[in-house]
Chain A
C-alpha cells in the first residue's frame, strides 16, 4: 500500500469513528449526558480555557509529570548502571528488588498520601516509582549487554578505572537500551499522572473527577483528548531526540 493510501484510510477510519460517536447521542441511542457528541467538545474546551481551568490543570499535571519522570529516570539510570557495573552491588540489591518490584506503583498511593498529603509531591512520588522500575531494568540490561570487546579497547588504551569505563564505553554503548526504557516510561508516567491526581492532587486528573461528579462529561472528554495530545507531543519530541542521539547508528 502506498503511504498516501494508508494515510487516506486512516483519515476515513477516524471520520467514521467520529460520525458514529456523533450519531449515537444525537439519535438518542445513548444518553448525551453519558456520552457527549464530539461537536460539543470545542465549546466545552473554549469554556475551560476562558475560565482558566485548562491552563492551570495542564501546568499542574505537566509539572508533576516532568518532576516525577526526571526523578524516577535519574534514580533508575543511576541504580541500573551501578547494578550493571558491580556484581557485588547487584547481589546486594537483588533481594530488595525481588521484594519491591512486583508491587504496582499505584499500591504506593496510601503511603504517598500519608507521607506527603494530598500534595503535588505525592503525585510526583507515584509517578517516579513507576518510571524508576522501567528505567532501572532497561539500564541494567543495556549495561550487561555491552560488547566486552569494546571494554577491552578502553583497557588497551589505558582507561581502566570504573569511571573511565562508564563514561568512555558503558554509558554511550548502553544509551540505545536506556532510551527504549525511557520511552516506555514516558507513556507509563502519563497513566500515573491521572491516577495520582484522581486522588485529589490538583491537575488534569482532579479536574476530570470534578467534572465527572457534575456529569459534565464534555469536559471529561476535553481532558482525555488533552492527555492524548500532550502525550503525542512528548512522544514525538522524544523520538526526535532519540533519533538525534542515536544518529551514529546505521
Chain B
C-alpha cells in the first residue's frame, strides 16, 4: 500500500515539476531568470501577464484559438454522433473499410500535406478564417470522435432503441430525447478529446492562418525567433495556454470519472 502511494507521489511530482518551473519563470523578469538560480520566484512580478492581457497581438491569439477549437468540437460531435450510431447499430456495405479509412487520416505526416492544404483552402477563400482551422482539425478529430462514441453506444442495449420505435418515436426524436441523454458521459469524454487535440495542434493551424485567426501557439513561435528570448513572457504565455484546457477538464471532470466508468474509453 505504501509502495503504491510512494509511486504515485513520485510520478505526480514528475508531472508537476516542469509546470511548476514554468510558473516560477512566468512570475519573473527575464533579467532575474538569467541573473541567478532559485527554486522559488524572487522579485515576483505580474508584468508578463499584464503585457499579454493588454497587448492585442497577444490576447487575440487566445481568442482565436478558443474560437476555432470550440467550432471544431461542435462540428466534430455533430458529425460523429449519427455516424457512430450507424457503426454501432448497423452493418452496411463498406462499413469496415470506411471505419479504417477514417482512422488512417491520423496517420498522414503533416509536413508535405501542408502545401496542398494551403492551396485547397485558398481555392475556397478560407485562408485566415477560424472555420478553416476548425474544418482542417476535423481530419483527425472526427475519426477519433466516431471511434470513442461508437464504444459508448455499443454499451447501450439495442432493446432501448427498439422499445422507443415501438412507442412511436421517430428516429430524430428518439436520438435527441432518449439516446443522447443516455450517452451524456461519452459525449463529455469525446468533447474533451476533441478540444484537447485541436487546442494542441500547431502545424495546420499555423499554415492556414496569417493574422486575424492566428492561434496563440503560433504567436509564441514567432516571438521565439526574435533575437534574445523573452523567457518570462513566453513562460506566462505558456501558463495561459493551459488555463482554457484546465477549465474544460474542470467542467467535464464528473463526466470523465463517470464516462470512464461506463464506456470502454
Chain A complexes with chain B: no
